[in-house]
């Protein structure tokens, strides 16, 4: 409803406007009235009307002074002056104060209604425009991350022609491209052990805190960052010269290592690309940043890698020959783990590109799986090449491949169908649930990557690994409460919860009642 206020020092005028016009029938709500400008100003600030009908000549403050005050206090207010004075100076003053209509007394009800409805129409149109703008802004806010990623993707690929419009609108999208020199970084932030635990709200909070920390370091007016993939962030730096770009990039990388790595206890690896002039330099800088990052595979202790360190080359003739020996060993049923170790040794010495090594290992695993499938007359379940990318360091990848191939020779089918793998996972959890278990440590036991295990666990069990484990631990705790006199703190520790407060939260979540209520229901008193 549109709100109306009437101001006139003549009570008969106020009564007439109030009682002889059915404002509700016109979608108007009469909210307040006043007999002078002083009272009117005070009541208008309280009621905040949309339309005000006012006399001009009144005690205390006149209508024109009231209009001047309300124009600043309530800028959206429509004012209709109703006066018995046909004076040009009044009309000019009214126009200067933004009055929407000027009616002479005695004005007919139809004329007053017509003037009010005209104001109402303007107000409704303005409200609709504002609502549409809010809707557009909300849609734009939702679309900005998508448009940002489209722009960044084309910048990295050098497809400037396809997205000239987005480049032109880059400032609106929050992607500074004023350059003229650009340099990029790729930031890899490994999850903490506790990141997979807790409720979704808690995990979202951990993620939000990480994003806020990165933004505090990389969110300047001439910088941009975004998440390209899980745990991988892209950072773009604008600078006036290559020297300034390199200095800013180096300072930023060191801050990221200290504040996210050392202070937050996360493992941080950064690849820094070359600095170059012009938009086309962004793609080249990112390519060299990725190469620098891949060099980290051979050096676990170092955290910042520069473009001149490179990712290494392709497999040498010696490495290719060793790979052939491994394939030959598999083909004849012999142990190939020694060849695998020699292959890694050669690649470590020559600093081979870890991407090249992963591709060769994928061929080795595919060859083995094909042989085993032929022997067993059935497939060995899904294997996706990207699983090998989950291993950041070459030594972890080597151990995984050796363990997998070694277990296979002993007849342990580590690549059974999903249900077999998950059954083995559940069996392990039921034995070791008291221990500190993370998705990463469990994946190593199952000879599979953490991301892959987490995905198929959710598909098979209908919940996340951390939810299943916490639920099982609480079931065990409930049984201990029913059958023993153990203290709740001891029970928490006995079922694998190192944090009593978190145990209490999980108990309420999965048991449906508090610890104290559950003890009461099962007629056991809390030990002193």
Q: What are the residue ranges spanned by the domains of the chain?
A: 2-128, 176-303, 312-413, 465-521
Strand 181-189, strand 276-277: pairing = antiparallel
Radius of gyration of the chain (CA): 36
* Structure confidence at residue 191 (pLDDT): 67
Once rounded to an integer, what is the mean pLDDT over residues 197-226?
81
14-41 pLDDT, tens per residue?
898 988 899 999 999 999 999 888 888 9
Q: Do domains 2-128 and 465-521 have the same CATH topology?
A: no
Q: Which residues pair with 79 in a beta bridge?
A: 52
Sign (positive/negative) of CA torsion 497, 499, 503, 509? negative
Among 151-160, 206-215, 283-292, 335-344, the range of highest mean pLDDT: 283-292
Residue 355: pLDDT over 90? no
CA atoms in the 13 A half-sphere facing the CB of 468: 20
DSSP 20-41: SS-GGGGTEEEEEEESSHHHHH
* Structure confidence at residue 380 (pLDDT): 40
- Of 3.30.70.270, 3.20.20.70, 3.40.30.10, 1.10.510.10, the CATH number of 176-303 is 3.30.70.270
Q: In this prediction, what percent of the chain has a pLDDT beyond 70?
A: 85
Torsion-angle region of residue 198: left (phi > 0), alpha (psi -120 to 50) or beta?
left
Compute φ and ψ for 463, nearest 5 degrees: -155, 170
As to burial, measured by CB atoms within 10 angstroms (0-12 exposed, 13-18 middle, 19+ buried), residue 192 is: middle
| Contact assessment for residue 78 and residue 100, using Cβ atoms and an 8 Å cutoff | yes
* Structure confidence at residue 305 (pLDDT): 92
| Contact assessment for residue 177 and residue 161, using Cβ atoms and an 8 Å cutoff | no
Residue 186: pLDDT over 70? yes
Count of C-beta atoms within a 10 Å radius of residue 243? 11
- Taking 3-state DSSP, the helix, strand and coil percentages for the chain, each rounded to the nearest 5, stand at 60, 10, 30
239-263 pLDDT, tens per residue?
999 999 999 999 999 999 998 888 7
Residue 381: pLDDT over 60? no
Once rounded to an integer, what is the mean pLDDT over residues 111-129?
91
Residue 401: pLDDT over 90? no
311-320 pLDDT, tens per residue?
678 888 898 9
**CA 79, CA 65: separation in Å to the nearest integer?**
12
Closest to 153 measured CA to CA, from 253, 282, 290, 276? 282
Quick one: pLDDT band at residue 89, thresholds 50, 70, 90?
low
* Structure confidence at residue 124 (pLDDT): 92
Quick one: pLDDT band at residue 375, thresholds 50, 70, 90?
very low
Sign (positive/negative) of CA torsion 336, 341, 346, 350? positive
Once rounded to an integer, what is the mean pLDDT over residues 230-234?
86
| Contact assessment for residue 336 and residue 344, using Cβ atoms and an 8 Å cutoff | no
The mean pLDDT value of the chain amounts to 82
CA atoms in the 13 A half-sphere facing the CB of 508: 10
Residue 368: pLDDT over 80? no
* Structure confidence at residue 419 (pLDDT): 65
Once rounded to an integer, what is the mean pLDDT over residues 444-462?
79
* Structure confidence at residue 416 (pLDDT): 43
Residue 12: pLDDT over 70? yes
| pLDDT, greater one: 298 or 416 | 298
Quick one: pLDDT band at residue 405, thresholds 50, 70, 90?
confident
| pLDDT, greater one: 233 or 460 | 233
* Structure confidence at residue 257 (pLDDT): 92
The arrangement of secondary structure in 465-521, i.e. its CATH architecture, is Orthogonal Bundle (1.10)
| Contact assessment for residue 261 and residue 303, using Cβ atoms and an 8 Å cutoff | yes
| Contact assessment for residue 271 and residue 294, using Cβ atoms and an 8 Å cutoff | yes
- Of 3.20.20.70, 3.30.950.10, 3.40.50.2300, 3.90.1150.10, the CATH number of 2-128 is 3.40.50.2300
Residue 378: pLDDT over 90? no
128-179 pLDDT, tens per residue?
888 888 777 776 677 788 888 888 888 888 776 655 666 777 887 889 998 8
**CA 351, CA 292: separation in Å to the nearest integer?**
12
**CA 136, CA 131: separation in Å to the nearest integer?**
9
DSSP 196-244: GSS-HHHHHHHHHHHHHHHHHHH-STTEEEEEEETTEEEEEEEESSHHH
Q: Which residues contact 187 (CB under 8 A, 6 or more apart)?
A: 214, 225, 232, 233, 234, 235, 256, 268, 269, 270
470-494 pLDDT, tens per residue?
888 998 998 898 888 888 888 999 9
């Amino acid at each position: 409803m549109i709100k109306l206020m009437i101001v006139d020092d003549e009570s008969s005028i106020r009564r007439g406007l109030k009682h002889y016009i059915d404002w509700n029938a016109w979608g108007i709500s009469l909210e307040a009235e006043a007999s002078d400008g002083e009272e009117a100003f005070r009541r208008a600030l309280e009621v905040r009307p949309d339309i005000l009908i006012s006399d001009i000549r009144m005690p205390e403050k006149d209508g024109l002074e009231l209009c001047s005050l309300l124009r600043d206090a309530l800028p959206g207010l429509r004012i209709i002056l109703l006066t018995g004075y046909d004076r040009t100076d009044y009309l000019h003053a009214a126009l200067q104060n933004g009055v929407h209509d000027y009616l002479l007394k005695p004005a007919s009800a139809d004329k007053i209604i017509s003037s009010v409805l005209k104001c109402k129409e303007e107000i409704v149109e303005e409200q609709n425009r504002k609502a549409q703008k809010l809707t557009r802004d909300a849609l734009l806010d939702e679309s900005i991350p998508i448009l940002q990623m489209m722009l960044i993707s084309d910048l990295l690929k050098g497809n400037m022609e396809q997205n000239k419009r987005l480049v032109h609108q880059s400032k609106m999208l929050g992607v500074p491209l004023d350059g003229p020199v650009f340099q990029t970084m790729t930031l890899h932030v490994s999850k903490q052990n506790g990141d997979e635990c807790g409720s979704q709200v808690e995990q979202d909070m951990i993620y939000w805190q990480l994003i806020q920390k990165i933004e505090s370091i990389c969110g300047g007016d001439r910088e941009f960052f975004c998440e390209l993939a899980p745990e991988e962030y892209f950072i773009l730096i604008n600078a006036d010269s290559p020297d300034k770009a390199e200095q800013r990039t180096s300072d930023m990388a060191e801050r990221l290592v200290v504040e996210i790595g050392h202070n937050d206890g996360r493992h941080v690896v950064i690849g820094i690309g070359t600095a170059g002039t012009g938009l086309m330099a962004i793609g080249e800088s990112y390519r060299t940043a990725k190469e620098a990052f891949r060099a980290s595979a051979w050096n676990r202790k170092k955290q910042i890698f520069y473009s001149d360190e490179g990712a290494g080359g392709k497999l040498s003739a010696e490495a290719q020959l060793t790979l052939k020996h491994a394939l030959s060993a598999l083909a004849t049923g012999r142990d190939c783990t020694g060849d695998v170790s020699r292959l890694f040794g050669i690649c470590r010495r020559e600093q081979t590109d870890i991407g090249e090594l992963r591709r060769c290992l994928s061929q080795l695993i595919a060859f083995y799986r094909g042989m085993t499938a032929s022997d067993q007359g059935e497939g060995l379940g899904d294997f996706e090449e990207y699983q090998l990318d989950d291993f950041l360091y070459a030594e972890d990848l080597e151990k995984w491949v050796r363990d997998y191939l070694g277990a296979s020779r002993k007849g342990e089918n580590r690549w059974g169908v999903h249900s077999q793998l998950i059954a083995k996972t559940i069996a392990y959890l039921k034995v070791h649930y008291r221990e500190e278990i993370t998705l990463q440590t469990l994946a190593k036991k199952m000879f599979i990557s953490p991301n892959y295990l987490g995905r198929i666990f959710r598909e098979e069990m209908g919940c996340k690994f951390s939810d299943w484990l916490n639920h099982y631990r609480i079931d065990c705790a409930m049984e201990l409460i029913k059958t023993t006199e153990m203290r709740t703190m001891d029970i928490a520790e006995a079922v694998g919860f190192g944090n009593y407060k978190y145990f209490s939260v999980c108990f309420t979540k999965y048991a449906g009642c508090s610890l104290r209520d559950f003890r009461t229901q099962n007629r056991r008193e809390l030990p002193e």
